[in-house]
């Protein structure tokens, strides 16, 4: 056996993506380069690691067992590298964060300075919907999660980062005035929702329910960006986080449509399991945020005050 760490990494990515093409894209390698490394790795085993049925790549049972071992090997190698940096006096390790999709406009600003100061820290950030974020917390897959609505069934610690403000927005060319009310809401004005499981959708539905607002036409889309583009195109209006539409408001592509009892205000919270033993890297991040939070907000989010 004479396989390399690079071959292990490539094989693991192929197993994860179930596709040579997708693996090559994520690894920023050409498809032929990935195929050659897979072939060289396979040549060291008398039992197939993969098989192709039709045009679909499948991982064999043996291949899946090798992938489990490969993952363990690479984790140990990573641990050696972090241990070396630690002995050299550097903060080193992996930081895993799960972020609800709109949080991608927030969390990078609270991480960038920390990452610049600590070259030995690797960041893994998963941007997804609230359901997946809560699942990653429940399964202890991450150090931290960024949410605007706390999952009530989990015992969590939290740090409030900043306000999350949601307004009704529309393209002024199509929706200069919209009235959300029990009787006066225009039935020919579609209201655009995020998918079920989204915290933005939950906040929007809670508002509509509390104010007894009946929705006429309803459109459901699966990302904040998709909702934004749909509103710009004139498909309808939506209640959206201000943090994600700043540029569009500045350009005049979108306009805040004032409504009674709006905006909705929640808080962006960095959360972690209360009984979790935080790594030195995770603890250092909390210290950094505690010291720098106000400076980060003042430097990057003062524009919110204009609205």
Q: Which domains does the chain have, with CATH numbers?
A: 5-86 (1.10.10.10), 91-162+268-306 (3.40.190.10), 163-266 (3.40.190.10)
Provide the pLDDT for residue 125.
92
* Residue 26: other Cβ atoms inside 10 A: 13
Q: Are 229 and 248 in contact (CB under 8 A)?
A: no
Local confidence band at 298 (pLDDT 50, 70, 90 cut-offs): very high
The H-assigned helical ranges of 43-154 are 61-87, 107-117, 130-138
Tokens 């009310």 belong to residue: 181
Q: Is the pLDDT of residue 114 over 50?
A: yes
Task: Tell me the CA distances in angstroms from 54 to 14, 49, 51, 57, one per residue in order.
Answer: 17, 17, 10, 8
Provide the pLDDT for residue 55.
83
Q: Is the pLDDT of residue 56 over 90?
A: no
Provide the pLDDT for residue 184.
47
Provide the pLDDT for residue 213.
79
The dihedral over CA atoms of 88, 89, 94, 99, expressed in degrees to the nearest 10, equals -150
What is the per-residue pLDDT across 280-291, written as a single tens digit (0 to 9) for each? Answer: 899 999 999 999
What is the per-residue pLDDT across 136-162, written as a single tens digit (0 to 9) for each? Answer: 999 999 999 999 888 888 899 999 999
Provide the pLDDT for residue 288.
95
Provide the pLDDT for residue 177.
65
Provide the pLDDT for residue 180.
65
Q: Are 71 and 40 in contact (CB under 8 A)?
A: no
What is the per-residue pLDDT across 236-246, written as a single tens digit (0 to 9) for each? Answer: 899 999 999 99
The dihedral over CA atoms of 238, 163, 250, 112, expressed in degrees to the nearest 10, equals -120
What is the per-residue pLDDT across 5-32, written as a single tens digit (0 to 9) for each? Answer: 888 889 989 998 899 888 888 888 898 8
Tell if the pTM clears 0.95, that is, is over it: no
């Amino acid at each position: 056996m004479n396989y390399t760490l690079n071959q292990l990494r490539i094989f693991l990515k192929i197993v994860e993506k179930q596709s040579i093409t997708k693996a090559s894209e994520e690894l920023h390698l050409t498809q032929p380069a990935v195929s050659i490394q897979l072939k060289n790795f396979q040549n060291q085993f008398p039992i197939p690691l993969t098989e192709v049925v039709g045009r679909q790549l499948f991982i064999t049972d043996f291949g899946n067992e090798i992938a489990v071992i490969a993952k363990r090997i690479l984790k140990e190698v990573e641990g050696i590298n972090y241990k070396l940096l630690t002995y050299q006096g550097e903060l080193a390790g992996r930081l895993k964060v799960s972020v609800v999709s709109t949080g991608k406009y927030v969390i990078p600003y609270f991480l960038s300075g920390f990452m610049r100061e600590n070259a030995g820290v690797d960041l893994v950030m998963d941007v997804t919907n609230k359901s997946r974020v809560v699942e990653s917390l429940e399964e202890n897959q991450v150090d931290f999660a960024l949410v605007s609505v706390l999952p009530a069934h989990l015992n969590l610690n939290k740090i409030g980062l900043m306000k999350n403000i949601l307004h009704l927005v529309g393209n002024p060319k199509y929706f200069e005035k919209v009235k959300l009310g029990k009787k006066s809401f225009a039935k020919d004005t579609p209201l655009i929702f995020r998918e079920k499981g989204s915290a933005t959708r939950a906040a929007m539905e809670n508002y509509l329910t509390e104010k007894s607002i009946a929705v006429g036409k309803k459109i459901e889309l699966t990302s904040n960006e998709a909702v934004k583009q749909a509103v710009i195109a004139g498909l309808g209006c939506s209640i959206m986080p201000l943090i994600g539409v700043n540029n569009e408001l500045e350009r005049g592509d979108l306009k805040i449509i004032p409504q009674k009892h709006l905006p909705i205000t929640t808080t962006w919270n960095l959360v972690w399991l209360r009984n979790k033993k935080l790594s030195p890297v995770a603890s250092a991040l909390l210290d950094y945020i505690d010291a720098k939070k106000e400076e980060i907000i003042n430097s990057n989010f003062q524009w919110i005050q204009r609205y």
